């Protein structure tokens, strides 16, 4: 006997087709990564699963609002790591942390020099090398004539290298005997409901004001402030963090496809070299800062590598490091880049034009 299934309505298929495979590939990749014991399995596995699907020719799109919801969940959980004692420690060394963060931002000069030596325009080399987000640097580079595809590709590759490489290296070097000592406080439904609602409202305001990563910064601000003000000792429910990682990883994986890896291979190789150099330079800076301040060097390195707020903070959480310090340094770096990138570019390009005219 043959079983006949009712036909799928064409309209429903058309609505689901552009994005429905992204969360499925992300879930498959995340589940496989967890079975293999990867660090941050539901983020890295989801990213690689969706990227692999797109490289096979299925150009599925990100889930609608998936990255916003993922940032909302993860940032709320990260903010709950803040407490008065940790905040006091950060403020006591704020000057040193700011100097260290500024030094890591200056490592972008490596990428600028590499790209300029091989014929890229100053605008393309500059905005492709800034350790900020892809969308923000594309928007800043557009009015200055930067090659936007190169800028976006450079930041996407840097994000993938740091996200895949740093957690794996840290887990290999430092996780032995430490993961079992990490304790996670339990959830409190009332507080969490309040934090999610207020965090979402602040994120909407930030989004209206065109802040970068509005849902991440809004939820992080509310959760961190309430956690410090009321000395909360709560956490997300079991599995909530993994859901946030899955949503974020599935969306980030949509940045990649076969043409991405074929596009300007020499440019991409220079981006890889500049990223590795920036990470390696962060190590001696972190060791010096640790010697001066007594802060944990492993935490300082995570705070200074050119990664993302969520990715590096989750790595710190998985290894039992000082999550608020990593978060504070990553937020500082983002703010420094966003506020200084455009005026520094204008000053630097203006000086170059004056010297060219004088010559």
Closest CA to 127 of 107, 147, 113, 104: 147
pLDDT value of residue 350: 73
| Res. 180: pLDDT tops 60 | no
Q: pLDDT class for 39, splitting at 50, 70, 90?
A: confident
| Res. 265: pLDDT tops 80 | yes
130 token code pair: 């800034």
More confident residue, 181 or 108: 108
- Mean pLDDT, residues 268-297: 92
197 token code pair: 């609602």
| Res. 184: pLDDT tops 70 | no
Cβ-proximal residues to 345 (8 Å cutoff; 6+ apart), any chain: 123, 126, 127, 140, 144
pLDDT value of residue 172: 83
| Res. 12: pLDDT tops 50 | no
pLDDT value of residue 355: 55
313 token code pair: 């903070």
pLDDT digits (tens, 9 = 90+) for 192-210: 999 999 999 999 999 999 8
Angle value at C-alpha 28, between 26 and 33, nearest 5 degrees: 90
C-alpha distances (whole Å) from 200 to each of 64, 66, 219, 228 are 16, 14, 6, 19
- Mean pLDDT, residues 214-230: 94
| Res. 93: pLDDT tops 80 | yes
Dist CA 264 CA 333 (whole Å): 28
Angle value at C-alpha 143, between 140 and 147, nearest 5 degrees: 80
Q: pLDDT class for 352, splitting at 50, 70, 90?
A: low
Closest CA to 327 of 200, 252, 227: 227
Q: pLDDT class for 79, splitting at 50, 70, 90?
A: very high
Q: Tell me, what DSSP letter sits at residue 18?
A: T
Q: pLDDT class for 152, splitting at 50, 70, 90?
A: confident
Determine the straight-line distance between the first and last CA of the chain, rounded to whole angstroms. 87
- Mean pLDDT, residues 57-85: 91
| Res. 52: pLDDT tops 80 | yes
- Mean pLDDT, residues 48-71: 89
Closest CA to 230 of 84, 73, 77: 84
Q: Where are the domains of the chain?
A: 68-175+188-347
CB 290 within 8 A of CB 304: no
Cβ-proximal residues to 265 (8 Å cutoff; 6+ apart), any chain: none
Q: Tell me, what DSSP letter sits at residue 306?
A: S
Dist CA 109 CA 337 (whole Å): 13
Provide, rounded to the nearest whole percent, the portion of the chain with pLDDT above 90: 46
pLDDT value of residue 354: 59
Question: Where do the H-state alpha helices sit in the chain?
Answer: 10-16, 21-35, 41-55, 66-79, 84-92, 94-106, 108-117, 122-129, 134-141, 148-174, 189-208, 214-229, 240-252, 258-262, 265-293, 297-304, 309-319, 323-358
């Amino acid at each position: 006997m043959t079983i006949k299934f009712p036909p799928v309505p064409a309209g429903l298929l058309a609505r689901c087709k552009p994005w429905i495979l992204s969360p499925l590939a992300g879930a498959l990749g995340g589940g496989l990564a967890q079975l293999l014991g990867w660090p941050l399995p539901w983020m890295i596995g989801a990213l690689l699963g969706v990227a692999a699907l797109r490289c096979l020719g299925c150009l599925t799109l990100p889930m609608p609002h998936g990255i916003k919801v993922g940032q909302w969940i993860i940032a709320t959980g990260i903010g709950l790591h803040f407490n008065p004692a940790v905040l006091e420690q950060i403020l006591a060394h704020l000057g040193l942390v700011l100097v260290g963060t500024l030094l890591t931002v200056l490592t972008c000069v490596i990428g600028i020099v590499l790209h300029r030596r091989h014929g890229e325009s100053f605008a393309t080399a500059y905005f492709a090398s800034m350790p900020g987000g892809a969308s923000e640097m594309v928007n800043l580079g557009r009015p200055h004539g930067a090659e936007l595809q190169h800028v976006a590709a450079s930041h996407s590759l840097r994000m993938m290298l740091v996200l895949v490489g740093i957690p794996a290296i840290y887990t290999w070097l430092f996780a032995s005997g430490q993961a079992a000592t990490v304790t996670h406080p339990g959830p409190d439904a009332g507080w969490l409901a309040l934090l999610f609602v207020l965090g979402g409202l602040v994120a909407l305001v930030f989004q209206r004001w065109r802040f970068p990563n509005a849902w991440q910064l809004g939820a992080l601000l509310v959760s961190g402030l309430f956690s410090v003000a009321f000395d909360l000792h709560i956490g997300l429910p079991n599995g909530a963090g993994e859901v946030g990682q899955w949503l974020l990883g599935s969306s980030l994986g949509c940045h990649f496809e076969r043409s991405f890896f074929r596009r300007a291979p020499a440019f991409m190789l220079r981006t890889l070299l500049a990223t590795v150099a920036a990470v390696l330079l962060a190590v001696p800076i972190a060791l010096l800062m640790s010697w001066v301040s007594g802060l944990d060097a492993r935490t300082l390195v995570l705070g200074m590598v050119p990664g993302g707020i969520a990715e590096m903070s989750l790595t710190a959480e998985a290894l039992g490091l000082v999550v608020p310090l990593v978060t504070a340094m990553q937020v500082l770096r983002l703010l420094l880049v966003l506020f200084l990138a455009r005026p520094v570019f204008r000053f630097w390009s203006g000086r170059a034009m004056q010297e060219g005219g004088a010559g």
